[in-house]
Amino acid sequence: MKNTKNSILISIALVFFVCACAGKTKVQLQSIPQPLTQTKENVSVVALEFGTTKHWSQLEVAVANLSDEPVRIEAREIYLKNEKGYYLLPYTNTQIEDKIEKRAGKYVNPLTIGAVGAALVAIILPSKHDRDVALKAAAVLAGGAIGKELAERQGVKEDLEIKDDFFLKNYSIPPGLKLGGRVYYPPVEQATGLKALIKIKEQDTLFEIDF
């Protein structure tokens, strides 16, 4: 009886641990000095925050227009410099949505493996008591696998909602206004700067900021 309880308790502990790792993507923020701003022709580009995950990197930027004419900002013309000094193209809206939606199904659920393994062991065990223990553990792990799947789906939904709220769109910024958002890139070990082309008076103006 004691072994039965111990086996089931271990299975329950594994379920809680794996399910706790599910949910929305955890972002590792990189410390960058503030303020990170470059100003040209009364237009300022500001780097606000950088973070990275296993699946993507994200940069929050803003553009403040203190000139007397509208300026144009496009997310595809904001490039991230990685630790090797290379500039990365940003993901499109469709590309980052695809990354978010696929992240949950990228790895095999360990609870599913455990449930299948416990069920197979139950078939070959000679003792009825041991078979009962294995089957109870398999039932706990199978329930946990379903719970983890539901948590992962909820996490994807939350990631998509965050993306929709913050994704940097193409803007024509009127005089006296500041607009910004989040730009997504392939994952990097460290970000070391950015390069942005902002259209001022119908001319592309280059902004460069080192972190």
Distance CA 49, CA 75 (A): 16
Q: Is the model more confident about 156 or about 39?
A: 39
Q: Which of 110, 77, 108, 76 is nearest to 93 (CA)?
A: 76
pLDDT score at 136: 57
pLDDT score at 96: 94
Biggest alpha carbon distance in the chain? Answer: 84
pLDDT score at 144: 53
Domain ranges within the chain, ordered by starting residue:
2-210
Mean pLDDT within 7-12: 44
Mean pLDDT of the chain: 78
Does residue 186 have a cis bond before it (omega within 30 degrees)?
A: no
Quick one: what percent of the chain has pLDDT higher than 70? 65
Q: Which of 163, 13, 34, 1 is nearest to 90 (CA)?
A: 163
DSSP state string for 151-201 = HHHHHHHHHHHHHHHHBPPPEEEPTTEEEEEEEEES--S-EEEEEEEEEET
DSSP state string for 17-84 = HHHHT-SSPPPEEEP--S-EEEEETTEEEEEEEEEE-SS-EEEEEEEEE-SSS-EEE-GGGEEEEETT
Mean pLDDT within 82-100: 95
Distance CA 138, CA 7 (A): 10
Q: Indicate whether 49 pLDDT > 90.
A: yes
Instruction: Enumerate residues 6+ apart whose C-beta is below 8 A from 82.
Output: 88, 188, 189, 190, 191, 192
Mean pLDDT within 66-77: 96
* 62 neighbors 83 (Cβ within 8 angstroms): no
Q: Indicate whether 67 pLDDT > 70.
A: yes
Distance CA 135, CA 151 (A): 24
Distance CA 47, CA 13 (A): 42
pTM of the model: 0.70
Write the pLDDT tens digit of every residue in 103-117: 765 444 444 444 444
79, β-bridge pairs: 195
- pLDDT band of 19, cuts 50, 70, 90: very low
Write the pLDDT tens digit of every residue in 136-189: 555 555 555 555 555 566 778 888 899 999 999 999 999 999 999 999 999 999
Instruction: Enumerate residues 6+ apart whose C-beta is below 8 A from 36.
Output: 46, 47, 48, 209, 211
Instruction: Enumerate residues 6+ apart whose C-beta is below 8 A from 20.
Output: none
- pLDDT band of 134, cuts 50, 70, 90: low
